[in-house]
Amino acid sequence: MANISTRFFGLELKSPVIAASSSMTGHAEQVVKLAEAGAGAIVLKSIFEEEIYHELQEELNLRTELTADPEYLDYFDYVIKEETIRKYLKLISDVKAKTSVPVVASINCISSGEWTLFARKIQDAGADAIELNMFASPSDFNKTGSANEQFYFETISKVIQVVKIPVSIKISHYFSNLAEMVQKLALTGISGITVFNRFYSPDIDVNHQKIITAGILSSPDDYLLPLRWTGILSGGLVCNLAATTGIHTAETALKFILAGASAVQIASVLYKEGPGAITEMNNGISNWMDQNGYASLNDFKGTLSQSVSSVQAWERVQFMKYFGEKAF
């Protein structure tokens, strides 16, 4: 059987198939099932900055009579955050006690605020690495691109300063000059970058003329955007690249490895098919390698990336030639 081990998060992983952060990775028992199914690593459900602040705000609204007291506020702020953090740290230590698979804590960050101090607690609880799920919405008409980008560098720098374990990031594609930005991020000292996170999307119900939530889970066709950028970016970075979004089968996972990804992060297919999807992917990757005479992932990783194969194939964006030749 082929060796499907790889390196991502600055760690040796026995499989390139990683259980991505989601509510599926928020309970120790569930994490154990994902590990038993053969996950190379587990990224725990994110702890959200907003979650902490939201929880605080709700409690404050309930206790308006007390909110005038600054000492109480200080105390309250402290207790709420401690409780949220305590639960998260317990999740890390519970998971570490139950499985030997690498456990990656995830922080959902939208600012480079005080939460960066929590990173050390996460390390002390036994996490093998940290993933920063980073998103600064480029939706402010008055904010420049560079001001937005500053958030990424400040946050990474603050976290890297307080921990010794590897730090990686998961990002969106909302950057004005994606390749240059990702290259600069890779040079900050992070151990890996995952492209691209999938976000909540609003949709519109025309029958009721209201805004609704688009599908939460990805579909198997959603992989093409991260695939293109994996192919373009992978050969030019000083850190490892992983991919997420729309990876539902071994075949799709193999496409990413051929494009230069060191690993893939999956969530939606785990909701649809359960932990067995990981076993199936591992077996599919291994069987394909056996059929093609590859002993290890490095034998074919990146062989179809832009830096090794065709620049044009990855860069082409217009359909002009296609439409010129095909008749409908």
Ligand X SMILES: Cc1cc2nc3c(=O)[nH]c(=O)nc-3n(C[C@H](O)[C@H](O)[C@H](O)COP(=O)(O)O)c2cc1C
Beta strands of 156-237 (E only): which ranges? 167-171, 192-195, 202-205, 210-213
Beta strands of the chain (E only): which ranges? 6-8, 11-13, 17-19, 41-48, 103-109, 129-134, 167-171, 192-195, 202-205, 210-213, 240-244, 263-266
Cis geometry, peptide bond prior to residue 196 (ω within 30 degrees of 0): yes
User: Angle at Cα 190 formed by Cα 147 and Cα 251, nearest 5°?
Assistant: 105
Report the residue number, 4 or 17, with the smaller CB distance to ligand X. 17
Residue holding tokens 């959902």?
A: 108
Q: Kindly indicate which of the ranges 10-18, 157-165, 244-252, 295-303 contains the residues binding ligand X, using the contact rule CB under 6 A.
A: 244-252
| Closest separation in Å from C-beta 264 to ligand X | 8
Q: Is 216 in the site for ligand X (CB under 6 A)?
A: yes
- Scanning 126-215, the segments in alpha helix (DSSP H) are 145-162, 178-186
Q: Kindly indicate which of the ranges 61-69, 89-97, 179-187, 214-222 contains the residues binding ligand X, using the contact rule CB under 6 A.
A: 214-222
Residue in 6, 15, 30, 108 binding ligand X, rule: CB under 6 A: 108
Q: Is 252 in the site for ligand X (CB under 6 A)?
A: no
Q: Is 268 in the site for ligand X (CB under 6 A)?
A: yes
Residue in 217, 236, 286, 307 binding ligand X, rule: CB under 6 A: 217
Report the residue number, 2 or 13, with the smaller CB distance to ligand X. 13
Closest C-alpha among 186, 197, 227, 149 to residue 20: 197
Tokens at 136, concatenated = 């600064």
The footprint of ligand X on residues 3-62 (CB under 6 A) is 20-23, 45-46
Q: Is 105 in the site for ligand X (CB under 6 A)?
A: no
Which SS3 state, helix, strand or coil, does residue 250 take? helix
Binding residues for ligand X, total number by CB under 6 A:
24
The footprint of ligand X on residues 161-200 (CB under 6 A) is 170, 197-198
| Closest separation in Å from C-beta 226 to ligand X | 9
Q: Is 247 in the site for ligand X (CB under 6 A)?
A: yes
| Residues forming beta bridges with residue 209, ordered by sequence position | none
Q: Kindly indicate which of the ranges 96-104, 141-149, 243-251, 314-322 contains the residues binding ligand X, using the contact rule CB under 6 A.
A: 243-251
Closest C-alpha among 297, 286, 282, 263 to residue 34: 282
Closest C-alpha among 210, 206, 298 to residue 257: 298
Q: Is 133 in the site for ligand X (CB under 6 A)?
A: yes
Q: Is 265 in the site for ligand X (CB under 6 A)?
A: yes
| Closest separation in Å from C-beta 310 to ligand X | 26
Interface residues toward ligand X, by CB under 6 A: 20-23, 45-46, 106, 108, 133, 170, 197-198, 216-218, 244-247, 265-269
